[in-house]
Amino acid sequence: MELTFYGADKEVTGSCHCLTVNGKHILIDCGLQQGADETDNSKLPFYANLVDYVLVTHAHIDHTGRLPLLVKQGFQGEILATQKTAYLMDIMLRDSAHIQEMDAQQAMRKGRRAGKKPKAPLYTVDDALAAIKLIQGCEYGETVELCEGVRVRFNDAGHLLGSASVEVWATEDDVTKKLVFSGDIGNKGQPIICDPQYMHEADYVVMESTYGDREHEKTEDYAKVFADIIDQTLTKGGNVVIPSFAVGRTQELLYFFREIKERHLTPGNPNFPVYVDSPLAAEATAIYSSDLHGYVDQETANLIDSGFKPLQFSNLHITESVEESKSLNEDGVPKVIISSSGMCEAGRIRHHLKHNLWRPECAVVFVGYQAGGTLGRMLLDGVDSVKLFGEQIAVKAHIYNFRAMSGHADHTGLLEWIGSFPTSVQKVFVVHGERQCCESFTAELCTKGYDAYAPNFETAYDLLADRVTEEGISPERLHPARPADYKSKYYSPVYARLVQAQKRLEEVVQHNEGGTNKDLAKFADQILALCEKWDR
């Protein structure tokens, strides 16, 4: 019986763990690496055709985004998730595949002009549809006999509609071990969804640590703070641009905007227009308007039972076509624009940032976690310009980090969650956190009496012998060009630009493969000259 760590190990994205029991290989999540965490998404660290099952904690792409690739490379097993997660994955995997295809087409056009060979997308819509066909839904609290010697149960994690912490009972050689995989632990008091459900027994716990080194801002009235930003920005003639994943956070924002209008919190702009710019938005919001009993908090359930629509209000518009999206930056009417993706790495949000970042009267409001190396993180870190679609864009807009709306538990919330387990658990594996955060939270758990451990990528652990069998690959070896303190909260914004420049240089080097010897030699000399100048 073995547990191997294949993603989000001293990193935040690309969640993936593998439990091996009685010769069966069971993945817990199979997420896409994003930002600085990305090495090569196309290379799975295991043979896809040997995987028997996948347990999915929730629908976000950093936990599900490589499932179509898994199927493309030979997986034919069963994917198990809660019913609402299954519905959301149907939307999100199709959208992710569409983005992969569009990015590949754009790269192909550029490559063709440069005489390069076309590069295939990571996966296609057909691959996503094939993955969706393998998804089986279950309900919270339902015990599922997965295979011989393995039972699983999903419990509400309070992070996203349908999100779950997964309990696994695994029996091998007449020995049973209980594992709990936290998934992403939710922030208490979020609109629509329930607070995280605590569990109390386990032999091994695998828990996230995204905010393990910080607390969220405490705000008594989230709606009032948000309303002030909107009213001030729109009164100046600017737009409020909100990067947000189309599923989950967008619906929570709509809930807040309905409340803002009902309470008349924007006196200067009482009926301000809100545009949800995403081809996913209509489908996702329809799911949030369906039968949600068992998945939402009591307040939302009461509203739904009374016939009230908690995500509908006046002057709300959903734009799905590209033409509608473009018009948002052309009509001159101040507005709120919600667009994905939440970390600004892909999607229509990048176009809206191009048109609004340089305008000092505008505001960009972040309402979710921004992983290191992403465009969203760079903006929060204070860069003075960014490159979008080949054009350098000055950052003059006001940048707000509205952490009070985070979907993740903060430091206190994480301690409360793990505190429901006795310190006698055999091991707590700390994952899904930036390296320094992950290691500091692990150390803190040790001071509280837990046997805590932060695994590396490809660390393997024998659950019956209770010992590490493979140390795995450290962050220094996995990302040799990254400094050890790369993801520290004290990380220099200017240095962030330098690291981005390094990534750009690597891309340019790859694009020059097949060039003439003369050009390649000249390029190499110029790089070496720069190295000589700046080596310290």
The model's pLDDT over 270-325, given as tens digits with 9 standing for 90+, comes to 999 999 998 777 787 778 777 788 898 888 888 777 766 767 889 999 888 888 88
CATH top-level class for 222-401? alpha beta
What pLDDT is stored for residue 320 in this prediction? 81
Q: Which of 208, 205, 110, 282 is nearest to 451 (CA)?
A: 205
What pLDDT is stored for residue 310 in this prediction? 65
Q: Which of 159, 207, 128, 282 is nearest to 455 (CA)?
A: 207
Q: Highest mean pLDDT: which of 95-99, 312-316, 368-372, 422-426?
A: 422-426
What pLDDT is stored for residue 481 in this prediction? 62
Q: Tell me the pLDDT band of 63, cut-offs 50, 70 and 90.
A: very high
Q: In sequence order, what E strands does 8-102 have?
A: 16-21, 24-28, 53-55, 78-82
Whole-angstrom Cα distance, residue 49 to residue 46? 9
What pLDDT is stored for residue 278 in this prediction? 81
Mean pLDDT of 386-400: 92
pLDDT in tens, 217-274: 776 687 888 899 999 999 999 999 999 877 777 888 888 899 999 999 999 999 999 9
**Which sign does the torsion angle of CA 428, 432, 436, 437 carry?**
negative
Whole-angstrom Cα distance, residue 454 to residue 229? 39
Task: Please give the mean pLDDT across all residues of the chain.
Answer: 89
Whole-angstrom Cα Rg for the chain: 23
What pLDDT is stored for residue 425 in this prediction? 97
CA dihedral 110, 116, 117, 121 (to 10 degrees): -30
Burial 454-474 (b: 16+ CB within 10 A, else e): bbbbbbbbebeeeeeeeebbe
Please report how many Cα atoms fall inside a 13 Å half-sphere around the Cα of residue 509, on the Cβ side. Answer: 11
Residue type, 41: N
Q: How far apart are the first and last CA of the chain?
A: 48
Burial 283-303 (b: 16+ CB within 10 A, else e): bbbebbeeebeebbbeebbeb
| Tokens (6 digits) for 324 | 């509608």
Cβ–Cβ < 8 Å for 233, 363: yes
What pLDDT is stored for residue 489 in this prediction? 36
pLDDT in tens, 494-531: 565 676 678 778 878 888 888 888 888 899 889 988 88
Mean pLDDT of 349-366: 95
**More confident site: 367 or 146:** 146
Mean pLDDT of 36-50: 86
Whole-angstrom Cα distance, residue 488 to residue 10? 12
What pLDDT is stored for residue 487 in this prediction? 45
pLDDT in tens, 178-219: 999 999 999 998 888 999 999 999 999 999 999 999 998 776
Cβ–Cβ < 8 Å for 278, 348: yes
pLDDT in tens, 66-112: 999 999 999 999 999 999 999 999 988 998 898 888 878 877 776 66
pTM: 0.81
Distance of CA 108 to the CA centre of its chain: 27
334: Cβ contacts below 8 Å, ≥ 6 apart: 233, 234, 235, 237, 238, 239, 269, 272
What pLDDT is stored for residue 207 in this prediction? 98
Is pLDDT of 490 > 70?
no
Residue type, 441: F
Q: To 5 degrees, how large is the angle CA 253–CA 259–CA 263?
A: 145
Q: Tell me the pLDDT band of 491, cut-offs 50, 70 and 90.
A: very low
Mean pLDDT of 419-426: 97
505: Cβ contacts below 8 Å, ≥ 6 apart: 527
Whole-angstrom Cα distance, residue 41 to residue 167? 28
Candidate from 3-12, 140-149, 240-249, 298-307 with smallest mean pLDDT: 298-307
CATH superfamily of 2-214+407-478: Ribonuclease Z/Hydroxyacylglutathione hydrolase-like (3.60.15.10)
Is pLDDT of 488 > 60?
no
* Residue that is written with structure tokens 């996948």 in the block: 54
Please report how many Cα atoms fall inside a 13 Å half-sphere around the Cα of residue 298, on the Cβ side. Answer: 0
Q: In sequence order, what E strands does 114-157 have?
A: 135-138, 143-147, 150-156
Q: What is the DSSP string of 432-459?
A: SS-HHHHHHHHHHHHHTT--EE-PPBT-
| Tokens (6 digits) for 534 | 């700046």
Whole-angstrom Cα distance, residue 252 to residue 245? 11
**More confident site: 222 or 132:** 132
